[in-house]
Amino acid sequence: MITTPRLQAHSIETLIVGLFAMTTVSAAEPPDTNYDESKVPDYQLPPLIQSDASPPTRESWRQTRRPQLQSLLEEYVYGKTPRTALESIDYRLEELDATALNRGATRKQVRILLDPEADLAIDLLLYIPNGADSPSPCFVGLNFYGNQTIHPDPEIKINPRWMRGNRDIGIVGNRATKDTRGVYQERWQAEKLIDRGYALATAYCGDIDPDNYQHDYADGVHPLFYQPGQTKPGPGEWGTIGAWAWGLSRILDYLIAEEHQIHPQQIAVMGHSRLGKTALWAGAQDERFALVISNNSGCGGASLYRREFGERIHHMIRPVGYWFCLNHAQFAQREQELPVDQHMLLALVAPRPLYIASATRDQWADPRGEFLAALAASPAYHLYGKSGLPSETMPPPNQPQHGTIGYHLRDGDHAVTEYDWDQYLRFADRHLLGKPTESD
């Protein structure tokens, strides 16, 4: 039995206010960041599979332990997602072109209208391979600055919503300009996916909930679920990552309904950085995602909190505490007391295939901590007769490990590259399509 502390909302809010007062938002890494392995504290991970009088089984995991872990992650990290469905979500096909990407794909732009009165909608961009003999497998993920950033296709609508300012990529006055077209096309590799027979679906995360440092939970999906008189989530209710994950599931609803073009059992969710955290939480909660991919997700994503290496809770709470539930702030500089750790999040994906990717020059995300979390999640896969990670030794750069859990450490920076996609496609070929790889 894990004993967990009960948290007081007023003390959490006081802590957050104090942390905000200590710092201003800055791209510089905090001076107390640890990058020295010799300074990683001795730690003991909370048990993934609790032992009792009976040996753990697939059934005991499924019926008892897995729900316990999801509940703990809800209460102390991401917050509980509302279980009630919206009364009516309207899916509107706004544009269709069967000659996109040099006639290799059909482009669909779909508006997922969540609240007509507030004009709250998710604008979905979907590329589907042309000429497929059967419904296509699909990768789905959120983007940071609008669908127009993922490819220079001039017909992609420029997202009109608020965005965090970034003049380097054409975000001026918190709005995207035409200069944002295709600025992140390497992160998405649309032609490569289409050529390999995969569809690609993406939407701007800010359509669901703005990634705004001055977040007040008033201009995204949260108000759609408030009780009378409520103006913000309670201490154990969902933050922005929870909202983004919820939005991914609403996109999944649409993709599954497109079963004549998208294979409903072959949909992979993928995310980078904070959206990698989101992909993991979406995949953990929604088992309809057939494969889950985390790219450089780091603290609050795939890496272990208890290593206290690179980014830590107090680093995130200062500028972006709204990503998580309010309860999470209670564990700033107290990671060893957190009732969960991220191997538990990864284990919730079992027995579905899971891929974790790190980068050598992204120590902020703690690549070793990401690998060790994947390794510690492997026993959940073993209960299903799956391999988990195929090795207990962290591989050198650019030498991927592909079990039912895949992992690679890529040379380079915090990014998504063609190399990363090569591994994801190979992994998906094996696990979604049953194609053998060189190592099989």
Predicted confidence at residue 14, as pLDDT, reads 36
Instruction: Decide if 414 is catalytic.
Output: yes
**Considering the domain 90-431 in this protein, what is its CATH number?**
3.40.50.1820
Could you tell me which residue, 213 or 44, shows the higher pLDDT? 44
pLDDT at 24 over 90: no
Residue 52 pLDDT class (50, 70, 90 cuts):
low
Cα distance between residue 151 and residue 272, in whole Å: 17
Predicted confidence at residue 113, as pLDDT, reads 97
What is the mean pLDDT of the segment spanning 144-153? 98
Cα distance between residue 315 and residue 320, in whole Å: 9
Torsion angle of the four alpha carbons 3, 329, 343, 400, in this order, in degrees rounded to the nearest 10: -170
Q: In this prediction, what percent of the chain has a pLDDT beyond 70?
A: 92
Of 60, 71, 382, 414, the catalytic one is: 414
pLDDT at 22 over 60: no
pLDDT at 66 over 80: yes
Three-state DSSP class for residue 354: strand
DSSP per-residue letters across 135-199? PEEEEEEEESS-GGGS---TTSPPP-S----BGGGTEETTEE-GGGTTTTGGGT-HHHHHHTT-E
Answer whether 130's CB lies under 8 Å from 259's CB: no
Instruction: Decide if 439 is catalytic.
Output: no
Predicted confidence at residue 224, as pLDDT, reads 95
β-strand pairing of 405-410 with 401-402: antiparallel
pLDDT at 23 over 80: no
Look at the block and give the residue holding tokens 């950085």: 273
What is the mean pLDDT of the segment spanning 132-154? 98
- Supply 177's token pair: 């300009």
Domain positions in the chain are: 90-431
Cα distance between residue 390 and residue 386, in whole Å: 10
Predicted confidence at residue 54, as pLDDT, reads 79
User: Which tens digit of pLDDT belongs to each residue from 275-302?
Assistant: 999 999 999 999 999 999 999 999 999 9
Where is average pLDDT lowest: 6-10, 137-141, 247-251? 6-10
User: Which tens digit of pLDDT belongs to each residue from 334-356?
Assistant: 999 999 999 999 999 999 999 99
Q: In this prediction, what percent of the chain has a pLDDT beyond 90?
A: 88
Of 273, 294, 297, 358, the catalytic one is: 273
Cα distance between residue 304 and residue 345, in whole Å: 10
- Arithmetic mean of pLDDT over the chain: 92
- Supply 425's token pair: 């496609």
Residue 88 pLDDT class (50, 70, 90 cuts):
confident
Q: What share of the chain is helix, strand, coil (3-state, %, to 5)?
A: 35, 20, 45
β-strand pairing of 291-295 with 136-143: unpaired
What is the mean pLDDT of the segment spanning 90-116? 96
User: Which tens digit of pLDDT belongs to each residue from 365-400?
Assistant: 999 999 999 999 999 999 999 999 999 999 999 999
Angle at 179 between CA 178 and CA 183, to 5 degrees: 120
Q: Report the 10 Å Cβ neighbour count for 170.
A: 20
pLDDT at 21 over 80: no
pLDDT at 433 over 80: yes
Predicted confidence at residue 370, as pLDDT, reads 98
What is the mean pLDDT of the segment spanning 18-35? 62
Beta strands, E only, 37-135 = 90-99, 105-115, 120-129
